[in-house]
């Protein structure tokens, strides 16, 4: 089997490119028709990105458990990366791990952690009283983390770097 770091990169690019083509087609339809159906399709694409990145992250954990022969792949990976002096990568990984937890579970410790660091994040976290990330964006779904192409790419890149540094 090929290295996980290579497969995850290719999978993400394939997924993002496919969704981008769909987005372009749907947007073109919305230019001539304000049909609710087309709006639902845009929201579905956002939902697909969210489900995709949650799945990628979860699968990464089980893969790390297998490769590192341990019960908690993320904890063991972070421990080994810290021993290598990769503290910046560990910090970045912790942020995306918290973001995925928020996408899966909503409010809680991970959400509080992200809110405290909100101004240092490369993605948007919705405050408790915020209704929208961007009012008028018909593709937005109800979530506390804005999952756009860049979030998916950055999260995947972080996972890829973790695996590469660990030799996988």
Strands (E), the chain: none
- Residue 98 is predicted with a pLDDT of 98
Residue 61: per-residue pLDDT? 95
Distance of CA 65 to the CA centre of its chain: 20
Tokens of 66: 């297998």
Of 62, 86, 91, 89, nearest to 74 by C-alpha is 62
- Which backbone phi and psi does 42 adopt, to 5 degrees? -65, -40
Task: Kindly state the helix (H) or strand (E) to which residue 31 belongs, with its residue range.
Answer: helix 4-32
Q: For residue 147, what are its two tokens?
A: 């999952």
Per-residue pLDDT of the chain (168 residues; tens, 9 = 90+): 688 888 989 999 999 999 999 989 988 888 888 788 888 999 999 999 999 999 999 999 999 999 999 999 999 999 999 999 999 999 999 999 999 999 999 999 999 999 999 999 999 999 888 877 777 788 888 999 999 999 999 999 999 999 999 999
- State whether residue 125 is helix, strand or coil: strand
Q: Looking at residue 76, what is its pLDDT?
A: 97
What local confidence, expressed as pLDDT, does residue 130 receive?
81
SS3 assignment, position 17: helix
Which residue intervals of 69-165 are DSSP H helices? 73-83, 87-105, 109-116, 149-165
Model pLDDT, residue 161: 96
């Amino acid at each position: 089997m090929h290295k996980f770091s290579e497969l995850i990169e290719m999978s993400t690019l394939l997924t993002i490119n496919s969704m981008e083509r769909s987005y372009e087609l749907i947007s073109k339809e919305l230019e001539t028709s304000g049909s609710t159906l087309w709006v639902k399709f845009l929201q579905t694409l956002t939902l697909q990105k969210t489900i995709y990145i949650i799945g990628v992250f979860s699968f990464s954990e089980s893969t790390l458990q297998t490769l590192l022969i341990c019960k908690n792949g993320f904890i063991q990976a972070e421990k080994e990366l810290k021993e290598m002096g990769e503290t910046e990568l560990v910090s970045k990984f912790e942020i995306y791990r918290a973001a995925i937890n928020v996408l899966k579970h909503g409010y809680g410790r991970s959400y509080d952690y992200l809110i405290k660091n909100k101004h240092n994040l490369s993605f948007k976290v919705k405050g408790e009283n915020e209704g929208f990330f961007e009012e008028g964006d018909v593709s937005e779904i109800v979530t506390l983390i804005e999952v756009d192409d860049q979030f998916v790419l950055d999260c995947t890149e972080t996972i890829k770097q973790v695996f590469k540094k660990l030799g996988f």
